[in-house]
Structure 1
Amino acid sequence: MVDDIESVLAGINSELAGLHAQSKFLNEVIDRLHAENERLRNAEAQRGLQPALRELVKLADDWRSRRAALEVDGGADLVRLCDEIVEDVTLVLERQGVDEFHAEVGAEFDRHEQRSVGTRPTDTPDLDGRIAEVRRPGYRVDTKVVRFAEVVVSKFTPPPAP
């Protein structure tokens, strides 16, 4: 009789161990599916936001251009207004996960984050391939560049021989 009870208990233990392993496997599958679902939902949300984010970047660029034009004509109040609008748009972009980044004059040109919109001749060999002017900032979401910083790159041109 004791042997029968031990045999039944061993069978129950074995079945419980199998159920536990199956439960653990199913929980891992559910966790993996949940994580994948979250990634897909986030990607879909970002894809839906892309047109609006591009328009906001263009809006910031437009107001920067207006500021530059007003700076030439004078009008400190209007220049300040343009700066405030650009700052507001930049804050909206940041709240949506889009970060503005700036290239630095004199830094080495980096095609992973910058786009050359022109070249400027230089007679200094050390400046070859370095940023001569920054035209527009770049934007990124996490580590992905969504708009390259626009720069003018120095190009070494030796002086003509005498």
Structure 2
Amino acid sequence: MDNNTEAAAGIDEALSAIRTELAGLHAQSKFLNEVVDRLHAENEQLRRAGSKATVQPALRELIKLADDWRSRAAAIREGADSAQLCADVVEDVTLVLERQGVEAFSADAGAEFDRHEHRAVGTQVTEDETLDGRVAEARRPGYRSDERVVRFAEVVVYKVATGG
């Protein structure tokens, strides 16, 4: 055999080894893609099941609340005290929120305004400088879930009158 024939045979042998290696890598890649696809599908299935399990208690609470409102509508038609019925609904919703891990909080009049918990919805002019920046009135409660404020308490804040 001459040098060219030996070189060609060496190249053919190297190419054959490369083809075998590529076929193995292709098979391995296909297997890994199938595993990833299966794991992704299982993960999605678990996520949906977890989501349903989390939402189900809230759905039951909302259904009960809808039923309670139907009963109260009938009571209103019969002349019941509307203000009391509204207060009852607020109490029911507060209980639903508590069962879902959400707690209501309010700002006390005279407390220092805290931008991490309060949202100023108005100001009230005062001559007393010690009241400046303090809560004059709480308008709506705030809500927390896991120590994180979900909604700020809405407050009116005292502001010292400036001479003009």
* TM-score normalised by structure 1 residue count: 0.52
TM-aligned CA deviation for residue 111 of structure 1: 0.6
Corresponding letter in the other structure for 2:98: E
> 1:98 maps to what in 2?
102
Corresponding letter in the other structure for 1:112: H
| Residue 155 (1) aligns with residue 159 (2) | yes
Aligned length: 96
Q: 1:125 to 1:138 in 2, by over 3 A?
A: same
TM-aligned CA deviation for residue 135 of structure 1: 0.8
**1:51-82: CA deviations, max 9, x gaps?**
x8xxx9xxxxxxxxxxxxxxxxxx98211111
Q: Pick from 107, 110, 130 the counterpart of residue 114 of structure 2.
A: 110
Alignment of 1:67-146 (within 5 A): 77-146=81-150
TM-aligned CA deviation for residue 103 of structure 1: 0.6
Point out where structure 1 has 5 or more consecutive residues left out of the alignment: 1-40, 57-74
CA distance in structure 2 between the aligned counterparts of 1:115 and 1:76, rounded to whole angstroms? 35
- Alignment RMSD (CA, Å): 3.0
Q: 1:153 to 1:131 in 2, by over 3 A?
A: same
Corresponding letter in the other structure for 1:156: V
Runs of 4+ in 1 over 3 A off after TM superposition: none
* Counterpart contact for 1:103–1:149, Cα < 8 Å: yes
TM-aligned CA deviation for residue 101 of structure 1: 0.5
CA distance in structure 2 between the aligned counterparts of 1:100 and 1:131, rounded to whole angstroms? 17
Q: Please state whether the residue corresponding to 1:82 is helix, strand or coil.
A: helix
CA distance in structure 1 between the aligned counterparts of 2:113 and 2:119, rounded to whole angstroms? 9
Q: 1:92 to 1:154 in 2, by over 3 A?
A: same
* Counterpart contact for 1:101–1:149, Cα < 8 Å: yes
Q: Report percent identity of matched pairs.
A: 63
* TM-score normalised by structure 2 residue count: 0.51
The structure having more radius of gyration, on CA atoms, is 2
TM-aligned CA deviation for residue 122 of structure 1: 0.5
Q: 1:92 to 1:130 in 2, by over 3 A?
A: same
